[in-house]
Amino acid sequence: MDKKLNWGLLSTAKINQALIKPLNASKRTRLLAVASRSITSAEAYAREWNIPRAHGSYEALLNDPEIDVIYNSLPNHLHAEWTIKALRAGKHVLCEKPLALTLDEVTAMTKAADETGRVLSEAFMYRHHAQTLKVKEIVDSGVLGKLQLIKGAFTFTLTREGDIRLKKETGGGSIWDVGCYPISYARMIVGAEPVEVFGWQVTGQDGPDESFIGQMRFEDGVHMQFDCGFKSPSRSHIEIVGSEATLNIPDPFKPGLKNEIYLIRNNELQKIRIKGGELYLGEVEDMRNAILNSQPPRISLMDSYGNTAAILALLRSAKSGKPASL
């Protein structure tokens, strides 16, 4: 009989809800347990979502011998600590983005994964979707000509007072929360790391950035421009400009079941329809394939290191008012 991977949710964060359905839908995964800082909270969450097991501490989940995979959806500043603890406890880990807040943390997490032989991957769900794979295929085919410019945006209006994403001490800020997406997307499309970046930020009172505008320069004359933030209307798009054509992706970060992207060449617009799938199922199946079939995760830890490095360089630039090299 094919082995099923038993998953445990490390926290009762809202983002868990996106993963519950695909975990239950995938044939070789089972959502077995959830952990909270109190057994009361864990049991209430388990009842609400029909999860068989509840643990009243994060340590108890890591000590559960039947759990194979941990989904780490804790606040950003706790990603490294608890991912490393989970790996050392013999668990594979799907860690919510951003993987970590410093390069030293990413290095320590990578070392723990290497030493334990466990799979660790960052949860950028859009990277596994058919639309993203098609966009990369189109760019790599050369139909756009020489790659010149990538433009992107990811903004929404955050109204909840005291939201953890507005707290600097917990790794808040729009660039960590949503700016990481266009940065990741551009790096994936170019297939390389930026050599220089420049950033501007608008910060709240004693807090992290509420809006961020950034530029990245890659080798061979390729540039990227993006903005992200918590104070603008909902916006989400990517435009890829080549010497021969332009590709527009209206919903790059949360594609769905039916998707359209637009190729503009010689002033003619071509609609490309792409059949998608459940957005978060891809990252669940990618973990399954990495663990059970020994396939490399689509998002490598080197890739996650590169994204973290780019974000940190952009924040350095915004603070200094000068370009930052990587």
Question: Of the candidates 74, 94, 123, which is a domain's last residue?
Answer: 123
Mean pLDDT of the chain: 96
Specify whether 21 is located in the same domain as 155: no
The answer as to whether 292 is a domain residue is no
Mean pLDDT of 34-42: 97
Distance CA 52, CA 54 (A): 7
Question: 1-32: string of b/e by CB count within 10 Å (b at 16+)?
Answer: eeeebbbbbbbbbeebebbbbbbeebeebbbb
Residue 27 has pLDDT above 90, yes or no: no
**Total domains present in the chain:** 2
- Model pLDDT, residue 162: 80
Label residue 137 exposed, middle or buried (CB < 10 Å: 0-12, 13-18, 19+). exposed
Mean pLDDT of 279-301: 96
For the chain, percent of residues with pLDDT exceeding 90: 94
Q: Are strands 258-265 and 246-249 parallel, antiparallel or unpaired?
A: antiparallel
- Model pLDDT, residue 3: 84
Residue in 213, 237, 214 with CA at minimum distance from that of residue 153: 237
Q: What is the pLDDT of residues 214-241, one digit of tens each?
A: 999 999 999 999 999 999 999 999 999 9
Mean pLDDT of 64-85: 98
Q: What is the pLDDT of residues 175-187, one digit of tens each?
A: 999 999 999 999 9
Specify whether 112 is located in the same domain as 133: no
Residue 1 has pLDDT above 80, yes or no: no
* Residue 322 neighbours by CB distance under 10 Å: 9
- Domain limits at 101? 5-123
The answer as to whether 53 is a domain residue is yes
Residue 53 has pLDDT above 70, yes or no: yes
- Model pLDDT, residue 269: 98
Contact yes or no for 177/170 (Cβ under 8 A): no
Residue 206 has pLDDT above 90, yes or no: no
Specify whether 200 is located in the same domain as 184: yes
Specify whether 61 is located in the same domain as 150: no
- Model pLDDT, residue 164: 87
Specify whether 133 is located in the same domain as 275: yes
Question: Of the candidates 123, 138, 154, which is a domain's last residue?
Answer: 123
